[in-house]
Amino acid sequence: MTPPNSRVDAELQSHVGVRAGVEQTFTLAWRSLLQIRHNPWELGDFSIQPILFLLLFLYVFGGAIAGSPVEYLHFMLPGVIVMNMIFVTVYVGHGLNTDLTQGVFDRLRSLPIARWAPLTGRIVADIVKQAWCILLLLTVGLLLGFRIGTSLVGLLIMVCLVLTMALAVSWIMVLVGVMARDPEHVQLFGFTTLFPVTFVSNVFVPAETMPDWLRPVVAANPVSHLSQAARGLMVSGPVLEPALWSLLWSLAITAVFAPLSVWALSRRLEGRSRTGPG
């Protein structure tokens, strides 16, 4: 077997139009979603895990923090949705690294498809998983007593805002997935990094209850901005300022990590083309 020729790949893929590339993106996204059938534990990670987080924090800390679990639910649920969004993005890097280490990308590059379709397909599949997680948490929250204090429009805006940030954070995990040695290192680095980022925020408790030296860190945390905007859109409170900060953070993260991720992926694939898939 001979390694794929990057010049031939480029000639094949240069004839792929935007419309065909979009269709290929959705086809590969569907492939990523179908992989859940072969790895049901992944379904548990982004379905059972957020519900466990919600129930544990609600009934263990709800009475101490807010006086009752139902009162705490209205504060915590928007934050849990944001926290779960951050964690689920790890699977973008995990799935991408799996495709790279198992040679799936080598096989895809030999096909006359858009060069960007495998990567965008992976990210689109992750956005679908994110939307499923949000719907699942909202359903469980309503069953536990959560009531929307704004409107359906506010709820839809919240979903769009969270998915926008999910898309931005996904680029960070794409870079991790490209640079990591194996999928296990992606998860180790991802969760080790994301845990302090999510917990040093206003996801579970108001920033006013924290020490004075910690409050500026919490206030600058993009997770805090997104959680506050989600609360305002779902329950009540300020919306415009935290939502604008969330959008600015999303743009900044995408502007920095999207080019880095694409560059790192191209370098890795070029290296594999020169040395062969083995």
> What digits encode the pLDDT tens for the residues 6-36?
444 444 444 667 778 788 888 888 887 877 7
Asked if 180 and 97 count as a contact pair (C-beta separation under 8 A), the reply is yes
Residue 154: inside a domain: yes
Asked if 131 and 159 count as a contact pair (C-beta separation under 8 A), the reply is yes
Asked if 210 and 218 count as a contact pair (C-beta separation under 8 A), the reply is yes
The whole-number pLDDT of residue 278 equals: 46
Please tell me the total count of domains within the chain.
Answer: 1
Residue 176: inside a domain: yes
CA separation for the pair 262, 97 (Å, rounded): 14
Contacts of 94 (CB under 8 A, 6+ apart): 173, 177, 183, 186, 187, 190
pLDDT band of 120, cuts 50, 70, 90: confident
Residue 202: inside a domain: yes
pLDDT tens digits for range 225-238: 999 999 999 998 89
**Long-range contacts formed by 187-191: CB under 8 A, 24+ apart:** 187/90, 187/94, 190/89, 190/90, 190/93, 190/94, 191/87, 191/90
Query: How large is the average pLDDT for residues 246-270?
Result: 91
The whole-number pLDDT of residue 262 equals: 87
Residue 216: inside a domain: yes
CA separation for the pair 238, 235 (Å, rounded): 10
pLDDT tens digits for range 134-147: 999 999 999 999 99
Residue 127: inside a domain: yes
Residue 1: inside a domain: no
Residue 138: inside a domain: yes
Q: Find where tokens 């080598």 sit.
A: 106
Residue 182: inside a domain: yes
The whole-number pLDDT of residue 273 equals: 56
Structural domain range at position 169: 6-275
Contacts of 261 (CB under 8 A, 6+ apart): 119, 171, 174, 175, 178
